[in-house]
């Protein structure tokens, strides 16, 4: 994996400073959150204000520890018929180079080593939901020189390179007192719903347009993909990504976790003995499981998105668990299964029953089942886990895959590690220790994500969770591990995991020496 160089990011910012206004980036933050393939005129979209705040904080706050935001609300946006042209007139100066915008937009993102200019543009336009046609109105597509490095720069280094006098800046380069994400004070969003001219671009309201106007009704549209696997290192935030997607739809979300003993019956359902409370007798009934429950709910609520969430998908035998259901994962352009399959006898009888769908329902017509377009399957997997069962290529190609990189700057993971009389920044530890892991293993699979821990921790949890992981999952596989655990306070002497026990002042001093050896910043 690789990141844009500090110099590339600084050059992009200075170029954007001459071409883009702050409110343009406020608009991008909103467009990135809409639920559509590409933003369209006259369609009502909603967005989460807290996520907008986090977006702007990530881009325009140059503090290592970002501010946390709460009190989330939902607002609505509708774009004008010529919104791209009006945005260019009011929020841009000329045509900014799209690559400079991409660099600043993705300034903390990790990319695959094979990433090229075309893939960068595609990733950006997909992320902000802007069509190629609208992008051609907004941006200059002339290629520029882009440089990459294997490690991310620090926010302090960026601040120094940009020569800013404060840690909170605008797109125009001036310092502001308010944090970037404070919407009521910062210049990014407020100017989008203030003034007559802006109405030519868009309208932002705290209510749904469809509640008061005939126009602006939400357009039913299936998302770009209907099943996706989020993968990455432990704690990178895969489940966090899923929670964002299903937010507000918890009533239509069904969850399960794969494991080595999980099978088709655990996923779909099976006949089980049930006690008849009235007669005191045992009878056998089909007990539906997560897949069947999601399937029935989706067919009964075709106007609502329904989510089947599978955690740790690579820990189960997917071929056995899905069986012939995997054929249903082939979707047509509308999102329905291209190839319906015959339901097995037990499943068919249940789906044809009145408590499920009924015999004449499209979801079981003629004994066949197919996934409706509103049923989405989201899964997570740790790349560090050695799959107990292989995931064959026929199964894998039916999924969209999204890598979730480690993000030490995530404002929700700015934890503190307390060891003895010292406190260390979790974000700084992540950067330093992941550099060591990468150097040791030549791989990113064993690195730790920003949500590897969930809150501030003390020395005991640090030893039992973090240090144990480094010892048991990272160092045991490599011969070079002798150089991993070193104590700066003891002339870089190597130490063992066992030497951290029992808990005493000496073990805390050793861990402090380890932090100093890595170069971890104190909080």
pLDDT digits (tens, 9 = 90+) for 247-301: 778 889 999 999 999 999 999 999 988 877 666 678 888 999 999 999 999 999 9
**Same domain membership, residue 338 and residue 472:** no
Contacts of 148 (CB under 8 A, 6+ apart): 2, 3, 4, 5, 8, 111
Last residue of one domain, picked from the residues 403, 426, 458? 403
Query: From CA 290, how far away is CA 160, in angstroms rounded?
Result: 52
- Confirm whether 379 is domain-assigned: yes
List C-alpha distances in Å: 102 to 8, 15, 17, 108, 379.
11, 12, 14, 11, 28
CB within 8 A of 291, min separation 6: which ones?
267, 268, 269, 308, 325
Strand partners, 92: 20
Residue 219 lies in a domain: no
* 455 in a structural domain: yes
Proportion of the chain above pLDDT 70, given as a percent = 92
* 195 and 246 housed in the same domain: no
Measured in degrees and rounded to the nearest 5, phi and psi for residue 371 equal -75, 130
Give the structural domain span for 255.
Answer: 227-403
CA distances from residue 372 to 222, 248, 294, 305, 375 in whole angstroms, order as listed: 10, 20, 11, 10, 6
pLDDT recorded at residue 482:
56
The strand pairing partners of 202, in sequence order, are: 79
Sequential pLDDT tens for the chain (523 residues): 899 999 999 999 999 999 999 999 999 999 998 876 788 888 888 888 888 888 899 999 998 888 877 766 888 889 988 899 999 999 999 899 999 999 999 999 988 888 889 889 988 998 899 998 899 999 999 999 999 999 999 999 999 999 988 889 999 988 888 888 887 778 888 888 777 778 888 888 887 776 776 555 444 443 455 899 998 888 888 888 888 788 778 889 999 999 999 999 999 999 988 877 666 678 888 999 999 999 999 999 998 889 999 999 989 999 899 999 999 999 988 889 999 999 999 999 999 998 899 988 999 999 999 999 999 999 999 876 655 667 888 888 889 888 888 888 777 788 999 999 999 999 999 999 988 888 777 667 788 888 889 899 999 999 999 999 888 877 765 555 556 788 998 898 888 888 888 777 888 999 999 999 999 999 8
Same domain, 145 and 252: no
For the chain, how many structural domains are there in total? 3
Q: Is residue 362 in a domain?
A: yes
E-strand stretches of 41-134: 44-48, 74-79
Q: Are residues 250 and 199 in the same domain?
A: no
| Shared-domain flag, residues 331 and 190 | no
Q: Are residues 238 and 180 in the same domain?
A: no
Q: What is the dihedral of CA 404, 408, 413, 417, to 10 degrees?
A: 130
Do 375 and 296 share a structural domain?
Answer: yes
In whole angstroms, how far apart are CA 177 and each of 21, 50, 71, 166, 186? 18, 19, 21, 8, 9
Domain assignment of residue 132, yes or no: yes
CA–CA dist 265, 32 (Å, integer): 39
Asked whether residue 353 is domain-assigned, the answer is: yes
Does some domain include residue 296?
Answer: yes
Does residue 196 fall inside a structural domain?
yes
Q: 467 and 363, same structural domain?
A: no
Q: Pick from 339, 372, 403: which residue ends a domain? A: 403
Question: Residue 233's CB: how many other CB atoms inside 10 A?
Answer: 25
Residue 378 and residue 231 share a domain: yes
CA-wise closest residue to 164 among 20, 14, 54, 6: 14
Domain end among 179, 211, 243? 211
Question: Looking at the structure, do residues 128 and 13 belong to the same domain, yes or no?
Answer: yes
Angstrom distances, CA of residue 88 to CA of 19, 120, 304: 10, 22, 35
22 and 167 in a single domain? The answer is: yes
Enter the DSSP assignment of 17: H
C-beta of residue 252 within 8 angstroms of C-beta of residue 375: no
Quick: pLDDT tens for 438-448. Answer: 877 766 778 88
């Amino acid at each position: 994996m690789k990141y844009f160089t500090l110099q590339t990011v600084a050059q992009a910012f200075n170029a954007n400073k001459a071409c883009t206004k702050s409110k343009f980036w406020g608009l991008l933050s909103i467009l990135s959150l809409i639920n559509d393939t590409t933003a369209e005129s006259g369609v009502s979209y909603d967005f989460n204000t807290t996520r907008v705040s986090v977006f702007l904080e990530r881009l325009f706050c140059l503090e290592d520890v970002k501010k946390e935001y709460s009190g989330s609300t939902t607002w609505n946006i509708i774009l004008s018929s010529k919104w791209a042209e009006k945005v260019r007139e009011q929020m841009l100066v000329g045509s900014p180079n799209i690559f400079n915008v991409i660099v600043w937009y993705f300034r903390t993102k990790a990319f695959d080593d094979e990433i090229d200019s075309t893939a960068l543009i595609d990733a950006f336009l997909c992320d902000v939901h802007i069509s190629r046609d609208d992008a051609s109105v907004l941006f200059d597509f002339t290629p520029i020189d882009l440089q990459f490095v294997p490690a991310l720069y620090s926010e302090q280094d960026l601040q120094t390179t940009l020569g800013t006098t404060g840690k909170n800046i605008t797109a125009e380069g001036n310092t502001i007192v308010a944090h970037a994400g404070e919407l009521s004070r910062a210049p990014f969003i407020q100017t989008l719903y203030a003034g007559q001219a802006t109405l030519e671009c868009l309208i932002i309201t705290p209510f749904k347009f469809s509640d008061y106007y005939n126009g602006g009704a939400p357009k039913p549209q299936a998302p770009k993909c209907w099943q996706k696997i989020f993968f990455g290192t432990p704690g990178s935030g895969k489940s966090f990504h899923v929670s964002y997607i299903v937010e507000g739809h918890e009533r239509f979300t069904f969850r399960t976790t794969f494991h080595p003993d999980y099978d088709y019956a655990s996923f779909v359902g099976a006949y089980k003995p049930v006690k008849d409370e009235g007669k005191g007798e045992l009878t056998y009934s089909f007990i539906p499981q997560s897949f069947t429950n999601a399937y029935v709910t989706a067919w009964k609520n075709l106007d609502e998105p329904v989510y089947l969430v599978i955690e740790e998908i690579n820990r189960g035998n997917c071929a056995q668990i899905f069986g012939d259901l995997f054929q249903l994962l082939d979707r047509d352009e509308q999102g329905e299964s291209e190839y319906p399959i015959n339901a097995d006898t037990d499943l068919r009888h249940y789906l044809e029953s009145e408590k499920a769908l009924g015999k004449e329902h499209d979801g079981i017509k003629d004994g066949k089942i197919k996934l409706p377009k509103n049923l989405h399957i989201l899964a997570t997997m740790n790349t560090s886990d050695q799959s107990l069962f292989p995931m064959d290529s026929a199964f894998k190609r039916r999924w969209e895959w999204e890598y979730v990189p480690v993000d030490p700057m995530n404002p929700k993971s700015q934890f503190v590690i307390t060891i003895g009389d010292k406190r260390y920044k979790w974000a700084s530890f992540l950067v330093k220790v992941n550099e060591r892991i990468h150097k040791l293993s030549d791989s990113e699979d064993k690195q730790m994500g920003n949500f590897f821990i969930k809150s501030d921790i003390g020395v005991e949890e640090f030893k039992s969770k973090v240090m144990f992981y480094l010892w048991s999952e990272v160092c045991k596989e490599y011969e070079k591990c002798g150089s991993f655990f070193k104590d700066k306070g003891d002339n870089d002497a190597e130490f063992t995991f066992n030497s951290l026990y029992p808990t005493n002042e000496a073990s805390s001093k050793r861990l402090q020496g380890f932090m100093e050896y890595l170069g971890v910043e104190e909080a």
